[in-house]
Structure formats: structure tokens, C-alpha cells
Structure 1
Amino acid sequence: MTTPDRLLPLFTRSHGGGRSSMTCQYRCGNACDQDVPNTSDNAYFGDLVAAGVSRRAALRAGSAGAALVGLTAWSMPSAAAAPSSPATGAGAGAAGAGRAGSSALGFTGIAPTPANVDAVKVPEGFAWAPVISWGDPLFAGTPAFDFDNQTPAAQREQAGYNCDYVQFMQGGPGDNGAHKGLLAFNNEYTNDELMFRGVGSSADLTDEQLEIVQAAHGITVTEVARRNANSPWRWVQGGARNRRIHTDTPFAVDGPAAGSVHLRTSDDPRGERILGTLNNCAGGETPWGTYLSGEENFNQYFNATGAPDPQGRLKRYGITSGGRGWERIQDRFSVTKEPNEVNRFGWIVEVDPQDPTSTPVKHTALGRFKHEGATVTLTADGRVAAYMGDDERFDYIYKFLSKGTYREGDKRHNMGLLSEGDLYVARLDGDGAADGEYDGTGAWIPLVVDGVSKVPGYSVEEVLIWTRLAADRVGPTKMDRPEDVQPNPVNGRIYAAMTNNSARTPAQIDEANPRASNKHGHVTEFTEAGGDHGALTFTWKIVLVAGNPSDPQTYFNGYDKSEVSPISCPDNLAFDAAGNLWISTDGMPGTLNHCDALYVMPLEGAEKGRLQQFLSVPVGAETCGPVILGPDSVLVAVQHPGEVGNASPDNVVSQFPYRGDGQPRPSVIHAYRRHGR
């Protein structure tokens, strides 16, 4: 699919993280305008002291009046850097965006797209098409999407709103041949001002519109098909496995905290049945074929005005006054009326996408925090290791190890593996200046092991329900918004995206988070001891320090920076069959003045570190959920197109996916090589 570029005015951004005010409001409840929830006294410079590096030597002062911005002790090896353009910040990294054959796809990297362009850009020789968009009907009797005549009943049977994590599956019932499959994706949040005319904020929504908004959250599952290997995937209306999971869908609760007094409410006095899932961000696919989804910024949906917080539990999770008005139609979103309802969100949920009648589960054994997602792999002895990031400034990276072991072909058994096991949180220690890299050793600090709490003063239930506070007590490393944490199936290492942290001060930098006011983020590689995901120690190394390649602080795994693309705010990670790292971004319009994009970076060989841009999404949109289907085929979720501060249905900023209906519709798209055309 091709469309002419639509150039729009560059919009003023008022938030320190670089996002538009609309993004900050609906994505995370203006988290960057709130106090940092983590006020624990974990030392930032413990690794520096251990390495014998003084704080004075570790900090580098800028010119007179400038902020302290980096670490001299671990300055990166010099590499060629090109001058940047004041207009775009692109630099020669954009001009030298790539040469054919530089990645597993063999594409020529594209130049960065200016942030005000309303278009999807793909490499020469590729095309793209929408697979499914917000409002597309899922069932045989579901009405077609009608922007000006939405209803709660229709939305519960239509594709949900903002799409994030994407999972593509084949080989299930009904997948006859290579041209049928199953697609599942998260519906993270809604842009209320873009969904309805005449709405200036969530406070303006009618009760019916609030119901529509609630129904647009959750998870969408749909069968997909294509005509042949050279055509795009497309959703199938009426597919036997199609399903919508939303805020009124019943969930079971399992694990050590199931039935806890802290999970009981008026409607669920046993604490074993929860309605709905909220703010589903990333996720993970299990070896037994189920779908994991992380409940992330759930805090913003609850109004805590007047609620007591003597132990600081609400504050540590960012649950304050406000909310999005949902308490107007359901008391459970008022913390004063239902104080335990908020504890029922912030979990990893598991869905069997092959069975639309199955009850999804919230797994308490994996802890409660702002889950970006959970990605799983197997240990040497057959247990499940799940890696998780807590997407908040100065929060932590976690690992879960199952008690039971995986049984090939025994789905019923395997679906219980996330119900019982051990939970750990990561400490990263730097090794100092000797090797000229940001790297070191680390350990997984126990929180719960063999059903016993390892946190003084906390029961197992308390560790799992208030995981953030429990982790604060054992001294993990405060990270720069750890988001996706992904195992690489080829080299066996773990890769974690630190999206950014503009709140980190010069006094708070350490080797694992080496920049103050870190607006661009970085990617860290973990190697578990002995190559075993069941190990409790590891080594680590930062393989990407994002930003404009002309910035001396950036680093691309040692590659010549005149040959790489600019990148900022890494978010979701994925791998192709060769083990190359794919990175989607969230926030580049406000940091580099580029549209968000999808990149690939080889991790081995002569091209190691040569980051190239594959795709860019339209103005106001975020790139999410990349799935690398093969050497010529990629699925991407285009989330919140047109999400800029002054946009509305009567002031349309993006018309993506350009289906002629005049309004932006978040969509999963398929980018594919045009063979024989």
C-alpha cells in the first residue's frame, strides 16, 4: 500500500520525555509530571565504589553552565561521527542509512522520516497493508465500524483500540496450509479525544462513551488469511477462534496470592475472580502456544482521592487522585469505595488463543508491578524462565523460575508452570574503566524461593502484591525505564530495552545507566552464567547507547557511527531467524524530530552494531509489537496514529491506515517484499 506524504505543522511538545501532551495523558497518566515513585535509598554508585572509581572521577562536567552529562570512566571507543542537521537531527547516519545486504532481509535502510509526515515508509522493493484496524468486525453478526455511531455492544465485538504487543501463530485448529493463521494483540489504552467528536478530555465523556472506552481496552484475537505467499495477511471476520477480551471479561487468579484478603472486593469476596485486564502493553509467547500480556500503567484508571495510604503502597505504584472518570459508572475504580480493586491489576495474564471459551488467568507468582510484558524460555533442566521489566523511571528488572518443568505436547500441564516458582530482581555491578565499555557482572536477588519470602518483614503474599516495595528492600539496580526483556533464540543471551529516564541526575548515574537526563535510552545484553537461564548470576554489557550518531555519548556495539541510523527510545525487541536484534521505538518525535520506527542491528559478524532503519510509522504514532515472520515479512502494530496535542476528529492529523474514512485507526500492518512486481 502506498500513499502520498502528508506534511503537517510541527507540533509543540511540552513534556520532558519528548512526548505530546495527549500521549502523556492517556499512555501513563502524566507519569513524568508526578514524583518518581521509587524513593528507596538504593545506592547508585555502589558499583563505582566497588571498582575503585571516585565519584569525582566518574562525572564529567560540561562547559560553563552546562549539566553534568556522562561518565568519563567508561567513555566509548571513538568512531566516525557525522555532523547533524539542525532541522532534523538526522546527521550522516541518515544519509548513510544502509546498503543492500546489510541485514537478514537484504534491504537498503531508509532515511529517518520527519516527525510531521503522515505516511508509512518501507524500503525499496517492499509494500505494506493493514491486517486489522480498530473497529473491524470480528464476528459474523458484528456491525461494520461506524465512527459516528459507536456503541458498547459493537465495540465488544470489534477490534480494540491502541495495538501494542502482537503474536502470530500457525499450526492450530483451522490453520489448513501456509496461508491461514491466528493473530493476537494487546489493546493498551484509548485516546478519548480522538475516538469521539466534541470531547476535550475524559471528563467530557458520557456514560455510554465511557462504556465504549472500557470495551476498547484489552486483547483482540482473530484468525487471519492470505491469498498466497506474495500477498499480505488479512483478518477473517467470523473466524472460529476470534475473540475480544475487555474490562468485563472474567479472569481466574492463581498462584500464592490467589484468594488473598488484599484481593477481595464486594463483588468478589473470595479474591479469585477478576473482571477485565487494563493497559496491556507487551507480552510473550509460551513454548506451549499461549499468549502472555503485561498489565502496565493500570494506576491511571483508579481515583484515589481521599484514600488513606499509611504504608505508601498507593504512592509507590503511582496511584493518586485523578483517574479517567471510570468511577462514575463503576465503583470499583474508586479506591475509597473498593480499596482492594486496584491490587487486582498489574499482573501477567495468560490467554489460550486457540480456545475462545477458555478463561484467561492472572498469575500472581510473577509479581505485581507495571509489567511491560513477560518473555519466556527454558532452563537447562527444563524449567521456565520468564523475564520482565517494570516500566517506570528507576525501577527494576525481574526473573521468574518455575518450580515445574516443561513437558513437550502436554499443554494442560504446561499451562500451570507460571502458577508456582521463584521470583528474583536484578542487581547490576559495573567493572570500572579498564575495558572501555559499559559492562560488568550481576546477580538475581531472591524475593520468593521455594514458597518462602526472602524479604524481611514481608509475607509471600505481600512480596507478590507489593513487589515494588519488597524489591526496594533488597538493593536491586534502579534502571532507566526497563521495558521489553527478550531472550535471543540464536545466541541464548537476554536483551533489555531501557527506553529513557529524563529524571536521572548526574549524581545518579552508574555504569548500568550511564547518562544523566537520559532521553534516548539504551539496550543491555545479559549472558547468564554457563549459558543457563536458570543461573542466578550473569555478565552484562550495553550494546546500544541510543541517540544521534554524532553525539559522542552514543555507541553502536563498536560499529563505525558514520554508517548507522539515528535512534531514540527503544521499546519493543524481537529477533529474526539469524538472531539479529529488531528494535521498535516510542518517543522519537520529541527527541530526534523523527517519526517512530523499526530498526535491525546484527549482533555478530562484520556487521555487528550496524543499526539500520527498516520502517517508519506516521505522525503521532508509535511502533510496537514487531513480529519477524521471515526474510521478507514483518508484522508491526501502529499505535495511536495522529496522537498530538491539538488533534481531534474535526482537526485530523493522521488518516492512517488511509482507508478513506477520514479518521485515524490504530492497526496491525504487514510489511512484505513485492516479489515479481
Structure 2
Amino acid sequence: MENDQHKTVAFESVLNKAVSRRRVIQSGGAIGATSFLGGASTLAMSATQATYLMGFDPIPTSTADEIQLPSGYHYEVLVAWGDPIIKGAPKFSVSNSADDQAGQFGDNTDGMSIFHLQTKQGGLDENRAVMAVNSEYINKEFMHTHQGKNMSADDVKKEIVAHGVNIFEVKKNKKGSWKVNKNSPLNRRLHGDADEFIMTGPVTGHPLVQTAMDRSGSKIRGTLNNCGNGQTPWGTYITCEENFNGYFGAPEATPLNDEQRAYGLSETGFDYNWWPHEDRFNLAKHPNEANRFGWIVEIDPLDPSSKAMKRSALGRFKHENAAITLAPNGHAVVYMGDDERGEFIYKFVSKETYKENDRAHNMRLLEEGTLYAAKFNDNGSGEWIELSFGKNGLTPANGFKDQAYILVYARIAARFVGATSMDRPEWVACHPSSPMVFCTLTNNKYRGERDSQPVNAANPREKNPFGHIIRWVPENRDHSAQRFGWDLFAMAGNPNTQTGLMAGSENISADNMFNSPDGLAFDADGRLWIQTDGNYKNEGIFEGQGNNQMLCADPVTGHIRRFLVGPKECEITGCTFANDQRTLFIGVQHPGVGWPNAEKDGVPRSAVVAIRKDDGGIIGS
């Protein structure tokens, strides 16, 4: 890389110039993020001005069927779909039953977090931890010996329990390798057929979530399509329900209302065809069952007897992940994206405030609060619009019956109040020591074709096959504030085949180009890690971009380096670091048939891998 990319750049300069240099907002009147900082130079220091933040050599793109890493790094598979994580569960086989799968690691790993256990002296144990890992969905063609044809009731049950959350203890041995302790009493599966879920908040008991199986509207069976995640300051795990609509179906010509259509419910769903065997997925018989999915779910990973809480105060939509931080006034703030083209970015602010050393109190913070949707103005300013009953036109006169209705149909409320429709808002990440917040906008092939998705400054491409990353800073560095300033951190593109906006922003080059940014996470030192889930055909406008990958960025300078390339066909997703920052765990989701375990097992298996430096050093340094 050229030396001038390593120069120290003051943070306020980056924000002031970003808009004009990337040609996405006309100069004159642009407010941007800087005016909300209240002393940007201090922020620049806290965000690490040193641009030697990344100590590894960037790697080229790849189309190989293997994980590629920089020199001096290696990886090991920690756990793969079908591996036993509950004592007594059998080893993987495609012929495993539903009961077998209920004791095994689920399919298509996604978001994950690690929770270190305490030593007898009360400190963190660097060698023992509990991991919570999502299993988002299944690959029907690999899950059954019959490739998904002639499905039985047990086959359907197997698919259902292959979804959800995997909780298991891991131990580090003397060589530094992490291994699953499948005999730990902390291990459990919270899957799509589990009865360990409780609805909390304003929607609890409302008619919209009452069903024939649960007249109380409070006891939920299962969690599905668990995509991204979050980790709270009080030590709980957040799993996010995304494309729940795909599991529901109904006989042909079943009438669906506008609210159901707004969430993508249809007669066929995603052709899982569970409803003929599992009655609750039949929209004709149980239309409210779908309203019990699409929520943020809070789990205590260290208490196997605890119930998981579906937090209705945070709204129902296709949750990608949840980025949780504390405002200066102590309120818990949760940023969230609704992963569908033309949908919105949300923020939740808790009613109560965080209390140090009071975990019982803090575990109630997500029960009550205020939900907002983001509006990105073309001049670089932004505002959070409150989604509360009686405010901003959310009244019975406009069809909003009560607060529960607003939360169950949050995307309808957000559209009504004029929030900005975005290019598939996915993962959100908060900088660990500054008020910067980042969100991946993965792509959008429809913007400019639908009236509800106009081209605007925050989404400047009429066709956006490459995606981009947006950045904002709250007013006065206060995450509970209702105003913010924003800019575009990076616009993915292909400078080899495209020009103008399609080539990408100036921090995108032939050496680091990518498409469809998806996963997003910070490490403790403030490096921003970017994972992709995009086009891996390596042809046409994507020529030269290779397989999906993981990159590392300096959030101040915008400098980006490629750190990892995955095997063919996979998505790279999920990211968590051991406490000492010397092991990075990531997921390889839906790998192709050439993935190394496929030949032995007969099918490819998604997996969590542990990445370490050969010298045992800090990842990325």
C-alpha cells in the first residue's frame, strides 16, 4: 500500500470532506457529523489517530475452496453443523433424526458472542467461556438423505430444531486451541420448537399475539431465522429474528391483509412447506402465530434454567443485529437494522438507566423504552422520529390502534412518519470508545423503481449492486439524543470494471474492493471488521472480487485492508473475540460442496472457525 494512506488524518477533517469528495451530497449547506461532536479533536484521539492500526499485510481476492488468511495466521474449525454439543447427543450424520439434531449444533451459523466465566478469585477466566451462536436457517438439500423430497413430520421437526441458538462451553488448552466441552451443564439448545420463550413489554397479552395454543399471548414456542446478534453490558446475549415470514404458508387463495403483506407473508413462504405438518405455520388457521416472530430475544447464557425474553418494546421487523451501548445519562441504547430493501434503521432508548453491579435491574432495561426510526436528511443531518402512540400522527385516526399495534407493525409506522428507506440496513456497530456508529447497507436492486425508495443522499445509487456503509455521530456524543450527523464511510464498488459512483468511494481500490457488506463489528482496539455476503460469481461487474471475504478498516481514516477470504459459495458472518483479543471466532455459512468437510461427511457443513496468529499475538495488530 502507498505510504500516504497511512498518514494521520484528523477526524473532523475526515467528516467535513467525506461528503464532497465522495460526490454524494452537493456542497453548500451540508451539516454532516462534525457539528454534533462538541470537540472533534478529542474524539479523534479516543478513536486512535494512529493509522498503523492494522499490522497485517492485506491479502488478494481468491476463488479457492479454502479460507485464505494473511501470512502468520492460521485457523481451526471449532464446531460445525451436526456436531454434538449436548451430553449424549450422537455424532453428525445426514440420517440424524429430529431428536438427534436437538442435541447437536444447528445449521448455518451466524451471529455469535463469547462470555468468559469467572475464576474462583472473581476475575475473568481467559481459558474458559460460554459461547452463544445463532443458527439462521437450513439447507434442505443437505439436511436429509432424500434431499428434501417426500418430507415426513420428523423431517420437518428436524429442520425446525436446526434453527435457533446454540449455547456451549469452550475451553482453551495449553497450545492455545479452543475446544467445545460437550459435557458442560451450561450447554443447551434454544431452537425453533423450544418452549422457553416469554413475551415481554407492551405487546405482551395483546390480541395480536394471542393464538389457539397460547390464549395468554405471552408464552412463545421457538425462535426462528436467528441472524445477527448483540451483547449487553450486563452480560446477556441478544439474538435477532430476521426472515421469519418464509416459514409460514397457507392453502392457495388464503386472504392476507395489508399488514401481513408488509412483512412478506405469502401463501408459499420460502417453500419450507412446514405448515402441512406443523399446524401453527398455517396462516389460514393461525394468522397471529407469525406476529410472535421477528423480535429481539434476550438470553442469559450463564443460567441454563432461565427463560429467553422476546423484547417487544424494541419493535418487530426483520432484525439483522442489535448494537447496544450506554448513553452518558445511563440509558441503554440499541441500534437495529431491518434487512429488506426499502426498510429502515431503528433506535431503542430504555426508560430506566443502567446500574453498576445490579444485574437483576439491568436485565429489565429492554422491557420498557422508546422506539425511533431514522431520517437521514440530504444536508448531512439526521433525526430520530419517535414511534409512540399519539405522536407524529400515530393515532387511531390514521389506523394505529395502540402502542402494541405500532410495535407489531413497526415498519408500517416508520414508513408513515417519514423515516428514510434504506438499501437493506444490516449490521450496526458502535465504536468502543467514541460515539461513532456504523451500519452496512448491503445492496438494493430496486431503488429507483419503487415510489417508496427514492434515490437520496444516504442511498445515492439508483441501482446499488455493491452496497455501502453509512456512519453517524449523535448530537453532543449522546446516543439518547434525537439528532445526529452522518456521512458515507465507504461505497463498495469495482474500480476495475466501473466508473463514477459504481467504482466506489476513494477508499476503495483494486486492492481492497468488495461487494455487499453485511457483518460489522469492532474489536477492543477500535478496528472495524467488515464481512460480506454478496455476489461470488467473479464475473461481469463483480469480476476480480472473488469469494466473500472479511476486511478490516480504520474508522478514522477510512483505510481498508482485506484480512480473510472464505471458500466458494459461502457467506462470512458472525464475529466475536476472546477477551485477550488473541482469538477471533467467525462463521462460514452455507459453504459449497468443495468445503473441506464435505468429502468426509457427504455434504458441506457450515462451521465456526477460530483464527489465531502463529506467534499468539493480538488479532489485526
Report if TM-score (shorter chain) is over 0.5: yes
Query: Partners in 2 of 1:308 and 1:601 — Cα distance?
Result: 48
Confirm or deny that 1:598 pairs with 2:555: no
* One-letter amino acid of the structure 1 residue matched with residue 137 of structure 2: Y
Q: Partner of 2:322 in structure 1?
A: 374
* One-letter amino acid of the structure 2 residue matched with residue 595 of structure 1: N
Q: Partner of 2:584 in structure 1?
A: 634
Relative to structure 2, which stretch is displaced further, 573-582 or 349-358? Answer: 573-582
Relative to structure 2, which stretch is displaced further, 631-640 or 273-282? Answer: 631-640
Q: Partner of 1:663 in structure 2?
A: 603
- Structure with the bigger RCO (C-alpha within 8 Å, sep 6+) is 1
Partner SS, residue 319 of structure 2:
coil
Query: Partners in 2 of 1:676 and 1:470 — Cα distance?
Result: 50
| Equivalent of 1:484 in 390, 403, 427 | 427
Q: Partner of 2:194 in structure 1?
A: 249
Please state how far the C-alpha of 1:455 moved relative to its aligned partner: 1.2
- Structure 1 residues 398 and 245 mapped into 2: Cα distance closer, same or farther (>3 Å)? same
| Equivalent of 2:113 in 147, 167, 176 | 167
Query: Partners in 1 of 2:569 and 2:239 — Cα distance?
Result: 24
Contact preservation (8 Å) 2:492, 2:505: no
Unaligned runs of 5+ in 1: 1-57, 59-69, 75-100, 432-439, 643-652
Please state how far the C-alpha of 1:412 moved relative to its aligned partner: 1.2
- Structure 1 residues 411 and 204 mapped into 2: Cα distance closer, same or farther (>3 Å)? same
| Equivalent of 2:56 in 103, 107, 125 | 107
Partner SS, residue 87 of structure 2:
coil
| Equivalent of 1:265 in 204, 208, 211 | 211
Contact preservation (8 Å) 1:569, 1:587: yes
Q: Partner of 2:406 in structure 1?
A: 463
| Equivalent of 1:181 in 129, 144, 148 | 129
1:480-559 matches, cutoff 5 A: 480-505=423-448, 508-550=454-496, 551=498, 552-553=500-501, 558-559=506-507
Contact preservation (8 Å) 1:656, 1:663: no
Query: Partners in 2 of 1:452 and 1:562 — Cα distance?
Result: 46
1:144-293 matches, cutoff 5 A: 144-147=91-94, 149-172=95-118, 177-199=125-147, 202=148, 204-228=150-174, 231-250=176-195, 251-293=197-239
- Structure 1 residues 103 and 146 mapped into 2: Cα distance closer, same or farther (>3 Å)? farther
Please state how far the C-alpha of 1:635 moved relative to its aligned partner: 1.1
Please state how far the C-alpha of 1:137 moved relative to its aligned partner: 0.9
Partner SS, residue 205 of structure 2:
coil
* One-letter amino acid of the structure 1 residue matched with residue 437 of structure 2: I
- Structure 1 residues 204 and 145 mapped into 2: Cα distance closer, same or farther (>3 Å)? same
- Structure 1 residues 248 and 235 mapped into 2: Cα distance closer, same or farther (>3 Å)? same
Percent identity, aligned pairs only? 37
Please state how far the C-alpha of 1:205 moved relative to its aligned partner: 2.4
| Equivalent of 1:309 in 247, 251, 256 | 256
- Structure 1 residues 477 and 108 mapped into 2: Cα distance closer, same or farther (>3 Å)? same
1:78-117 matches, cutoff 5 A: 104=53, 106-114=55-63, 117=64
- Structure 1 residues 152 and 180 mapped into 2: Cα distance closer, same or farther (>3 Å)? same
Q: Partner of 1:473 in structure 2?
A: 416
Partner SS, residue 222 of structure 1:
strand
Query: Partners in 2 of 1:216 and 1:660 — Cα distance?
Result: 21
Query: Partners in 2 of 1:675 and 1:212 — Cα distance?
Result: 42
CA RMSD of aligned residues (A): 2.4
* One-letter amino acid of the structure 2 residue matched with residue 444 of structure 1: W
Query: Partners in 1 of 2:307 and 2:386 — Cα distance?
Result: 31
* One-letter amino acid of the structure 2 residue matched with residue 488 of structure 1: H
* One-letter amino acid of the structure 2 residue matched with residue 673 of structure 1: K
Query: Partners in 2 of 1:624 and 1:173 — Cα distance?
Result: 31
Relative to structure 2, which stretch is displaced further, 523-532 or 369-378? Answer: 369-378
Contact preservation (8 Å) 1:491, 1:579: no
Q: Partner of 1:409 in structure 2?
A: 357
Confirm or deny that 1:331 pairs with 2:279: yes
Query: Partners in 1 of 2:590 and 2:584 — Cα distance?
Result: 19
- Structure 1 residues 143 and 280 mapped into 2: Cα distance closer, same or farther (>3 Å)? same
Q: Partner of 1:9 in structure 2?
A: none
Please state how far the C-alpha of 1:489 moved relative to its aligned partner: 1.0
Relative to the length of structure 2, the TM-score reads 0.85
Query: Partners in 1 of 2:595 and 2:528 — Cα distance?
Result: 31
Q: Partner of 2:85 in structure 1?
A: 138
- Structure 1 residues 143 and 542 mapped into 2: Cα distance closer, same or farther (>3 Å)? same
Please state how far the C-alpha of 1:475 moved relative to its aligned partner: 0.4
Partner SS, residue 271 of structure 1:
coil
Relative to the length of structure 1, the TM-score reads 0.78
Please state how far the C-alpha of 1:409 moved relative to its aligned partner: 1.7
Please state how far the C-alpha of 1:633 moved relative to its aligned partner: 2.8
Query: Partners in 1 of 2:509 and 2:413 — Cα distance?
Result: 45
Contact preservation (8 Å) 1:317, 1:369: yes
* One-letter amino acid of the structure 2 residue matched with residue 636 of structure 1: I
- Structure 1 residues 72 and 273 mapped into 2: Cα distance closer, same or farther (>3 Å)? closer
Unaligned runs of 5+ in 2: 1-19, 28-49
Please state how far the C-alpha of 1:544 moved relative to its aligned partner: 0.4
Query: Partners in 2 of 1:277 and 1:571 — Cα distance?
Result: 22
Please state how far the C-alpha of 1:152 moved relative to its aligned partner: 0.9
Residues 420-475 of structure 1 show CA distances to partners (whole Å, capped at 9, x for unaligned) of 010100000012xxxxxxxx0000001027x9786132110110111111112100
- Structure 1 residues 247 and 172 mapped into 2: Cα distance closer, same or farther (>3 Å)? farther
